[in-house]
Amino acid sequence: MFHHAPAKSFQYALQNRLKPTEAEDKLWNALKGKQLGGFKFRRQHPACRYILDFYCHVAKIAVEVDGGYHFTPEQAAYDAQRTAVLQEVGITVLRFTNNQVMTDFATVLNCILETIKNQQPSLPEE
């Protein structure tokens, strides 16, 4: 499900997959291959007019890993608008900083898994 993502988004997503940040790479290594609770995640997944860092389709959860530029007022406003658009199509957005991923990894993974389970407790673990 791509929620009518523009074709160009797929090119950008591919480029992003080729140059992940250290935090994105670390998180992807824990999410890929259904390692987290048996749930499948995609990385750099186009949805609407955005590219999601990580996306679990069955739970409709996006996981974003934010670097320092996300803390500027302009970027924070853009991120809030982006989250609102994604929520309108039923996607829950979780945000973590690079620092959280790098220094409190177990908590990040636990938060993702708990959110999935709380979102739809009847989800089968694949």
Dump pLDDT digits (tens) for 1-43. 455 655 565 555 455 555 778 999 999 999 999 999 999 999 9
- Looking at per-residue confidence, does 86 or 118 come out higher? 86
Least Cα distance to 116 among 75, 61, 74, 71 occurs for: 61
Asked if residues 49 and 9 have their Cβ atoms less than 8 Å apart, the reply is: yes
Domains in the chain: boundaries: 7-119
> What 3-state DSSP class applies to 111?
helix
Q: Which two tokens stand for residue 18?
A: 């080729």
CATH number of 7-119: 3.40.960.10
Please report, for residues 62, 73, 79, 100, the alpha-carbon distance to residue 69 in angstroms, rounded to integers and kept in the order given.
19, 9, 11, 15
Please report, for residues 49, 51, 97, the alpha-carbon distance to residue 6 in angstroms, rounded to integers and kept in the order given.
6, 10, 27
